[in-house]
Amino acid sequence: MTESARLARLKVWRGLDAQAGHFETFAVPFEPGQSVLDGLRWIRANRDPTLAIRFSCINANACKECMMEIDGATLYACTERLEEREMTVMPLSNKPLVRDLVTEIAPPAERFGKA
Amino acid sequence: MTNPMHVETDVLVIGSGGAGMYAAIEAARGGAQVLLADRSLIGRGGATVMAQMTVAVALGSETPDHWTHHLHDTLEAGRGLCDESLSRLLCEEGPDCIRQMDAWGVGWARRDDGRIAATAAPGHDRPRCVYVDFLNTGPAVSKTLRTVVNKTPGIRKAGDLFITDLACHDGEVVGATALHLTSGAPVTVAAKATIVATGGLTRLYRRNSASANMGGDGYALALRAGAPLIDMEFVQFFPIGHLAPRLIGMDPIMWDPFRYKLGGRLLNGLGQEFTSRYGSNEDGAYVLTRDRATYAIVKEVEAGRGSPHGGAYLSFAHLSEAELRAAFGPVIDRLAKNSIDLTRMPVEVAPIAHYHMGGVAADARMETEIPGLLVAGEAVGGANGANRLSGNAVTEALVFGRRAGRSAAERVARMKAQPFRQQAARAALDLVAADGVADGPNSADMIVRLQAIMADDVGPFRTADKLARAIAAIDGLARDLGERPFGDGSRFDMRRIDWFDLRNMLLVARVVAQAALRRTESRGAHQREDFPGMLPEWRVNQMVRWRDGRIDLNSAPPAQGLAAAQ
């Protein structure tokens, strides 16, 4: 198998209603060392720009925004390695859903209209 | 689309990085009610939180020092273009802000005798750079400011609030229009003073060291509101941004503190030291300024002597495991998780977009030409001229943030009534609430394309041909973007967020390219391969204005000398 044919598969939860979502699976070109966030950003730029994700720092694990459930574990997408297999990516189940992989993660006092 | 919401405040601070948080704290201490808005989480985005290295300040804690020495070095690095009133403010008030941060518990690294440790950095005439171990300067500064923000009465926090335009009435800025990302609601904000603290523009480039939310939005907001921008052609590239092997969980500028503490060796693809060929011999010490190092690496790669991924090698292989661990402790373990063992292998590094010297023109009160509009931090242009000295970015975030907060509170105290009129936000509100374009190009791909254009043709080394090609490509993307937002404006509508980002990014990209094309010389971070060498007649700042829907550039002599500095 050539380098360019190596694939990761991301099974991504989509939806605006936590009770009525669905999964979409995307094949993502795999390079050793990539993060899950790299894969999600690739999906947006190459397959579906509507996929909702949140992140600021991309790589440094400084902003703490990209927390999500990866294969059932709560992890940062920027530090979790993409693997050459199917990985299931879901929004945090203990936070209110906003859309797709985005949840309301800010403390209530830091949300607009709450303080 | 949900109904518009309206909020009123004395001071609106846009951006909650180091400058924005300090501005909010100081405005609130001055008696103003503050709304601290950020497009993402409060105090987590921007550049300060990413700064793993050092803060330049003439504390004189180890070696005798005075702010005038720091000013001398800052002006030297700025290659004749600094606004000396701003540079002076940075250097003179730096020590006070650093001591205030110390009192707030930031935890500056100290020597055994309790003095704050200061390290040497390129371009400084003596050790002057303070830090928090290990690679924790920016996170510690951010955390400290978040804590103070939370304790300060009078600050309301508004996360996920994307400011799309400033509202202008009678020639003053009277508030702003915004999109609340998590609800999709359009928002108007009435404010007696507005502080733009949105940082720089490094997101315009493919490889960059800052948060993804730094796409030059503050520059675009100020420009559209009528405020001039200055020095927009000067983008600083950090020469030794991490290139390979792939590294996660660490910032790409992390090698700088390694070089401060341990020196390290820059080698080309053949394993040879090469910086001496470009007039700068290192001898294992870290003395090479950023513009010279960037030049040396790019030229070595062009000559076919680059590392495998197109950069240079950085080697610490002459050091022992114990020496590395003593200097960087747990960071060595984080590197091990990335399969990097510095005692055995070099890493690859290459220039990466890092900072923007240009920005919104302001006076030493941080007030712009437009009453009601202030600016703070990296969003301010002029303090660093054509090239920023290492360590000055966090200093200016703190100093300029504090000053902007004070000036805003003073303005609020003078004002009787809220100057906001709904009419001032009408057009911007219509845009935020517009029925969008359902199909259209992939907005995320458009951002990737813009980043490629800027990296390839508006990078550290420029020519008229490359810049003209970039301008044509930027204009093509602007046509694709059109006048109506993408998406439907429902909650966290990524295409709509991208559309508003691209609206700002394309405007600012064009300003940078156009200013770079007009400056037919090489100075500091702006290097024209078709115009090598610095020309006396170009010892001028380029001022950018938005007139009748087009970019207007003019030259003006920099504010210099004792008069400016007093």
Chain B residues lying within 8 Å of A34, measured CB to CB: 246
What is the arithmetic mean of pLDDT over B538-566? Answer: 85
Q: What does the pLDDT average to over B125-138? A: 92
Q: Is the pLDDT of residue B353 over 80?
A: yes
pLDDT per residue as tens digits for the range A61-76: 888 999 999 999 999 9
CA atoms within 13 A on the CB side of B305: 15
Closest CA to B227 of B378, B362, B407, B425: B362
At position B386, the amino acid (one-letter code) is A
Contact A111 B160 (CB under 8 A): yes
Residue found under tokens 């301010």: B380
Which of B63-77, B271-285, B488-502, B529-543 has the lowest average pLDDT?
Answer: B271-285
Task: Find the CB nearest A109 among B41, B45, B157.
Answer: B157
Out of A84-98, B286-300, B330-344, give the one with best mean pLDDT. A84-98
- The yes-or-no verdict on residue A4 having pLDDT over 70 is no
Contacts of A77 (CB under 8 A, 6+ apart): A35, A36, A37, A40, A53, A55, A66, A67, A68, A70, A89
pLDDT of residue B288: 73
Integer CA distances (angstroms), B33 to B27, B104, B221, in order:
8, 22, 22
B290 burial via Cβ count (<10 Å: 0-12, 13-18, 19+): buried
Where does the pLDDT of residue B220 fall: very low under 50, low under 70, confident under 90, or very high at 90 and above?
Answer: very high
Is A104 within 8 Å of B443 when comparing Cβ atoms?
no
**pLDDT computed for residue A115 by the predictor:** 42
pLDDT in tens, A11-58: 999 999 999 999 999 999 998 889 999 999 999 999 999 999 999 888
Residue B470 zone, left/alpha/beta (φ > 0; ψ -120 to 50; rest) = alpha
pLDDT of residue B248: 83
CA B123, B126, B131, B135 dihedral sign is positive
- Evaluate if residue B547 carries a pLDDT over 80: yes
ipTM above 0.90 for this complex: yes
pLDDT of residue B290: 77
Distance CA B253, CA B242 (A): 6
Of B159, B247, B445, Cβ closest to residue A111: B159
CA-to-CA distance for B295 and B126, rounded, in angstroms? Answer: 25
pLDDT classification of A1: cutoffs 50, 70, 90: very low
- In whole angstroms, what is the distance from residue A52 CA to residue B119 CA? 43
**Residue A106 Cα, gap to closest chain B Cα (Å):** 6
Q: Is B337 on the interface with A (CB under 8 A)?
A: no
Mean pLDDT of all residues in B299-322: 94
Q: Which pair of structure tokens corresponds to residue A29?
A: 């070109």
- 3-state SS record for B415-437: CCCCCCCHHHHHHHHHHHCCCCE
Q: What percent of chain B has pLDDT over 70?
A: 97
pTM of the entire predicted model: 0.95
In which band, very low, low, confident or very high, does the pLDDT at B279 lie, cut at 50, 70 and 90?
A: low
A47: alpha, beta or left? (left if phi > 0; alpha if psi -120 to 50)? alpha
CA distance A22 to A28: 19
* Over residues B275-295, mean pLDDT: 71
Q: List, in sequence order, every residue forming a beta bridge with B177; answer none if it has no partner.
A: B165, B188
pLDDT of residue B208: 84
CA separation for the pair B246, B136 (Å, rounded): 21
Of A62, A81, A106, the CB nearest to B50: A62
Mean pLDDT across B357-375: 98
Confidence of residue B2 (pLDDT cuts 50, 70, 90): low
Instruction: Report chain A's mean pLDDT, rounded to a whole number.
Output: 92
Is B394 exposed, middle or buried, given 0-12, 13-18 or 19+ CB atoms closer than 10 A?
Answer: buried
Q: Do A49 and B443 touch (CB under 8 A)?
A: yes
- Burial class from Cβ neighbours inside 10 Å (0-12, 13-18, 19+) for residue B51 reads buried
Average the pLDDT over B415-426 and give the result: 94
Over residues B490-502, the mean pLDDT reads 97
Q: What is the pLDDT of residue B283?
A: 52
Contact check, Cβ <8 Å, A99/B5: no
Report whether B216 contacts B205 (CB < 8 A).
Answer: no
Tell me the pLDDT tens digit for each residue of B6-49: 999 999 999 999 999 999 999 999 999 999 999 999 999 888 88
Q: Does B494 touch chain A (CB under 8 A)?
A: yes
Question: For position B282, what pLDDT does the model report?
Answer: 55
Is some CB atom of chain A closer than 8 A to the CB atom of B158?
yes
**Mean pLDDT within B369-384:** 98
Would an 8 Å CB–CB cutoff place B250 in contact with chain A? Answer: yes
CA distance B261 to chain A (A): 21
| pLDDT number for residue B445 | 98
Q: What is the pLDDT of residue A58?
A: 84
Amino acid at B123: G
Q: Which amino acid is at B486?
A: F
The residue of chain B with its CA nearest to that of A113 is B158
- What token pair was written down for B322? 């114990």
Structure-block tokens of residue B79? 């290659």
For chain A, list residues whose CB is within 8 angstroms of any CB belonging to chain B. 16, 31-35, 41, 44-46, 49-65, 78-79, 81, 98-100, 102, 104-106, 109-113, 115
pLDDT bin (cut points 50, 70, 90) of residue B566 is very low
Tell me the shortest Cα–Cα distance from B217 to chain A, in angstroms.
15
CB contact (8 A) between residue B138 and residue A62: yes
Q: Are B312 and B300 in contact (CB under 8 A)?
A: yes
Predicted local confidence at residue B232, as pLDDT: 98
Do residues B229 and B382 lie in contact, with contact meaning Cβ atoms separated by under 8 Å? Answer: no
Q: How far is CA B501 from CA B201, B382, B497, in A?
A: 11, 25, 6
- Measured between alpha carbons, how far is residue B549 from residues A72, B223, B226, B431 in Å? 51, 11, 11, 17
Q: Considering chain B, what is the average pLDDT of its residues?
A: 93
pLDDT at B287 (0 to 100): 63
Selecting from A16, A51, A106 the residue whose C-beta is nearest the C-beta of B159 gives A106
Please give the sequence-ordered ranges of beta strands (E in DSSP) within B365-427, or none if there are none: 373-375
Q: What is the rounded average pLDDT of the residues B279-283?
A: 58
Instruction: Report the 10 Å Cβ neighbour count for B416.
Output: 6
Q: Which residues of A touch B251 (CB under 8 A)?
A: 57, 59-60, 62
